[in-house]
Amino acid sequence: MRLGEKLNSDYVLKALKWCVFASFLFLPITTGLSYIAYSDDLAVSALPWHISVAVALLCCIAAVLLYAWYRGTNSLAAYGMIGLFTMFPIYYFFGIFGYFFFFTFAPMLSAMKWGGLAGGLAITGYWIYLVIRNVRYTINHTRFVAAAFKEHGDGVICYEVQRGMRIFEKHFVEPSPMPKPLAYVVFAIAPFCLVLPRILTSSFGTNGVLVVVAALGLPLSLWLVGLLVRIYLVTVALPLRIERERNVRVVVEA
């Protein structure tokens, strides 16, 4: 396909369709599970499923407004921002619902609740710091930008998504503060040392299911939040910087 034909395709609209699909796939599931677990079974709060409904609406509305503003431009920054709203429902399912809702709303001792929340926030925050550091190094100190962003004249720079991802993976060093097998074990079980006595002295029930979901959700949420950071830095912040510095348009080729 020639460049002109590619630019005539509305890639921002394609991103919007994926965003709506992800929102209507993951967030209704999260809403239903939040209602069943926290409002119906444990009867502790209706806030989790209310939050889930609000997140679903905000993701869809924000993506539609972005498309309305950038329609027909194939702006890479708009494509990236809609990509963030596409990935967030998936992160929300594993990270927010799976882990943080458990320690926020499930009945447990205050020390366990605050310890689990602090542990999850600390691990997530440290992981985000590592990903930001490594992505910025890839952008600023490797050939990624020169290889992935191609000038096509008339003040247009193109970024082909699949090709750009391959080039990025070639140069990017995945953060690893410790050997991967050990990291997965630590990330998964460290916060749950705080709730182990409750698990061992209670019937499994809803709380037990939520503990398992949280234990599985934390490692997955770390990978997903790292992906969100990469999407933002590579497809939103970087093209906006290039446009500002070079006075050009940065467009997407998918």
Q: Write out the DSSP string of 149-192.
A: EEE-STTEEEEEHHHHHHHHHHH-----SS-HHHHHHHHHHGGG
DSSP-derived secondary structure letter, 75:
B
Ordered by start, the domain boundaries in the chain are 3-253
Give long-range contacts, CB 8 A cutoff, 24+ apart: 107-112: 107/42, 107/44, 107/207, 108/195, 108/198, 109/198, 111/194, 112/194, 112/195, 112/198
Q: What is the mean pLDDT of residues 55-59?
A: 86
C-alpha to C-alpha distance for 6 and 175, rounded to whole angstroms: 35
Cα–Cα distances in Å, from 205 out to 37, 38, 51, 111, 198?
Answer: 10, 13, 24, 22, 12
**Confidence (pLDDT) at 26:** 79
> Measured between alpha carbons, how far is 224 from 88 in angstroms, rounded to an integer?
8
- pLDDT tens for each residue of 201-222: 444 455 666 777 777 778 888 8
The per-residue pLDDT of the chain, averaged, comes to 81
State the amino acid at position 16 in one-letter form.
Answer: L
Low-confidence winner among 18-27, 93-102, 109-118, 203-212 (lowest mean pLDDT): 203-212
Confidence tier at 23 by pLDDT (50, 70, 90): confident
Task: Yes or no: say if 174 and 167 are a contact pair by the CB < 8 Å rule.
Answer: no
| 239 has a pLDDT exceeding 90 | yes
| Gap between the Cα atoms of 242 and 80, Å rounded | 14
DSSP three-state, residue 74 = coil
> Looking at the predicted structure, is the pLDDT value of residue 6 above 80?
no
pLDDT digits 0-9 by tens, 61-94: 899 999 999 988 899 999 999 999 989 988 988 8
Check: CB of residue 229 under 8 Å from CB of residue 158.
Answer: no
| pLDDT for the residue 104 | 85
Assess whether pLDDT exceeds 50 at residue 11.
yes
